[in-house]
Amino acid sequence: MCGIIGYVGPLGAVGIVLSGLQRMEYRGYDSAGLAMLDSADGALKRVRVSGKIPDLQRAVEQELPEPVAGRCHIGIGHTRWATHGAPTVSNAHPHLSRNGRIAIVHNGIIENYLPLKQRLIGKGYRFESETDSEVLAHLIEECYDGDLHRAVAMALEMVEGTYGIAVVSSQHPDVIVAARKGSPIALGVGNGENIVASDVSAIVNYTTRVIYLDDEDIATITPAGVQISSLKNVPVNRELRHVDWQPGELEKGGFEHFMLKEIHEQPEALANAIRGRLLEKDGTTRLSGVQMEPADYARVSRIIIAACGTSYFAGMVGKYHFESLADLPTEVEQAAEFRYRNPIIERDSCLLAVSQSGETADTIEAVREARRKGANVLGICNVVGSTIARETGRGVYLHAGPEISVASTKAFSCQVVVLAMLAIAFGRARRMSAGVGRDLVAGLARVPQLAEAVLRQTDHIRQVAEKYADAEHCFYLGRGYMYPVALEGALKLKEISYIHAEGYHAAELKHGPIALLDETVPVVAVVPDVHGRSKTVNNMQECRARKSPVIAIATEGDDEVDQFADDIIRVPPCPDFLAPVPVVVAEQLLAYYIARKRGCPIDQPRNLAKSVTVE
């Protein structure tokens, strides 16, 4: 969730590190800092702030004037999301060793930091921060005997927990040591320069050649190259990959926020997700990354979907896909619960790990537990080379392109479509006829147009949203396919507008939530023309009877809902299994314009991070 960047090479490290931190702002953070090695006096220069990157830039201009900054060709930087200790300057990274010669930045959590800290205090070390991370700086100094790589490895052998780290030392003016366990680290390979970062978005401006470290890898990075070994000092080779993101994709492109840009990118993202994967003549889909033949699909007797947050709600939609299209019993598991409750996994079970980033810590651990129990495991993620992609070894990439805003939008709609394509592949290997398959595939081919039709109503949705921007509570109601979509709509609203919003199955309205309804509590009723619509329309009437304003998301031409709704957002008619896509686009726009009217920081909501890499 925090951001790490490091640079070593002939260019000015200050500007590159600041630019890299700016690229990773979307991950969520509350303080920032950098440490540079001044080639003139060989000293580490550190600047930290409790605040945002513009605050750090101003502090750097004051504390590292241009002559000093120009002499710095190696440095590391960090954006911190507070865990151990408040977001203060003293808790911000980088942290220095006692002698001031070693600086570290760290993502993750050191679970045994207290006994390590007490031991170091007994040896005379003093701690300036409340963080677990500072322990690492002092441990590395304690282990240092002239070999920085070995000192870092020895220190990490004592650590329990997760880490992604980058380390520099004034005694090694052209070396960065990086390591990972449970927190992503990527190495950008250039010509006479190299970069280390926790996110490829900080790298692609300089190189598209990337190496991803695996757990317990440790790398020594110099201008000349990269050497990687295990913590036991056994050399390892990691694949050099090409990142197809373009720097322009990481810009707002004229939109006010990344979230709005990414909402409007959904037709293109959906087209990319289905491109080359629909076999209309055969009425099936081709997902080569899953590495399964029809006989392999047919052998699967049960689907388990493990995910968190927005991906969990996409997985709930996937449950409907697999059960209705493929006749496959399907469970959707909150990934954090999966490994701790000792799940029952039968031999022919298939686990789908769904994650936008591919770095969600709880989902990664679900993958590992499922593999230990003998399940087939497939990854569904957006980031090429991510941990889930590497550890599963097979699955489906979303091809949604970079998603910068913390609130996921296009990844959700692409996850829904990818899960539908998988369900069709499973179904055709079982009982689904070619004719039914052709109808489903033809529907999928139209899905970009479904999203586009909703985007054409942006002005109307903005007007509706602005009417309700002063609300402090809101309910979303839906049934069947629309139940998880109601949950996702409520999540989007609470994430970015800070309105307390809850999603409910519409049948649950009279089991408690109805007690909270009055004229100050709007209800979003998700009632497109799909199975369960008529019963939810009845629930709309119950809400109106309690004086709650009702916003209906309904199908074009469905005039019946007009008499029971205060405002209506129309979506195009489509089959049940595709209806989540246009409905969720409408919900995203509704949440966005409510948050905009309230003046909220939409791309970086408070306390949230894009990718949750700690449990």
Structure tokens given for 353: 């790990």
User: Which residues make Cβ contacts (< 8 Å) with residue 370, sequence separation at least 6?
Assistant: 304, 306, 338, 345, 349, 351, 353, 377
Q: Report the C-alpha gap between 377 and 351 in whole angstroms.
A: 5
Evaluate whether 3-250 and 252-445 have a shared fold: no
Instruction: For the beta carbon of residue 10, count every other beta carbon within 10 angstroms.
Output: 9
CATH topology of domain 448-601: Rossmann fold (3.40.50)
Active site residue 2: yes
Structure tokens given for 609: 């991070």
CATH annotation of 252-445: 3.40.50.10490
Structure tokens given for 415: 């996850």
Catalytic site residue from 2, 308, 350, 543: 2
Q: Report the C-alpha gap between 570 and 583 in whole angstroms.
A: 9
**What is the DSSP code (8-state) at residue 202?**
G
183: left (phi over 0), alpha (psi -120 to 50) or beta: beta
User: Which residues make Cβ contacts (< 8 Å) with residue 276, sequence separation at least 6?
Assistant: 286
CB 270 within 8 A of CB 584: no
For position 247, what pLDDT does the model report?
A: 64
Position 170: which residue type?
S
Closest C-alpha among 590, 517, 559, 259 to residue 504: 517
Residues of the chain with pLDDT under 70: 1, 27, 246-248, 609-615
For position 68, what pLDDT does the model report?
A: 86
Q: Report the C-alpha gap between 334 and 315 in whole angstroms.
A: 10
What does each C-alpha distance from 61 to 14, 64, 67, 69 come to in angstroms? 10, 6, 11, 9
CB 506 within 8 A of CB 479: yes
Closest C-alpha among 181, 148, 147 to residue 164: 181
Q: In what order do the strands lie in the sheet with 95-96?
A: 95-96, 102-107, 163-169, 172-181, 217-222, 225-230
For the chain, give every domain's residue range: 3-250, 252-445, 448-601
**What is the DSSP code string of 256-317?**
SSHHHHHHHTHHHHHHHHHTTTEETTTTEE--GGG---HHHHHH--EEEEEE-HHHHHHHHH
**Across the strands, what pairs with 195?**
7, 188
**Longest CA–CA separation in the chain, Å:** 79
**Across the strands, what pairs with 222?**
225
Structure tokens given for 594: 């409510």
What does each C-alpha distance from 84 to 34, 156, 396 come to in angstroms? 19, 19, 36
Active site residue 492: no
CB 222 within 8 A of CB 8: yes
**Across the strands, what pairs with 79?**
3, 32
The model's pLDDT over 213-224, given as tens digits with 9 standing for 90+, comes to 999 999 999 999
CATH topology of domain 3-250: Glutamine Phosphoribosylpyrophosphate, subunit 1, domain 1 (3.60.20)
Q: Report the C-alpha gap between 14 and 6 in whole angstroms.
A: 10
User: Which residues make Cβ contacts (< 8 Å) with residue 43, sequence separation at least 6?
Assistant: 37, 100, 170
For position 609, what pLDDT does the model report?
A: 66
Catalytic site residue from 181, 410, 492, 610: 610
For position 267, what pLDDT does the model report?
A: 97
Structure tokens given for 57: 């830039």
CB 467 within 8 A of CB 575: no
Q: In what order do the strands lie in the sheet with 209-212?
A: 44-49, 31-38, 72-80, 3-8, 194-197, 186-189, 209-212, 240-242
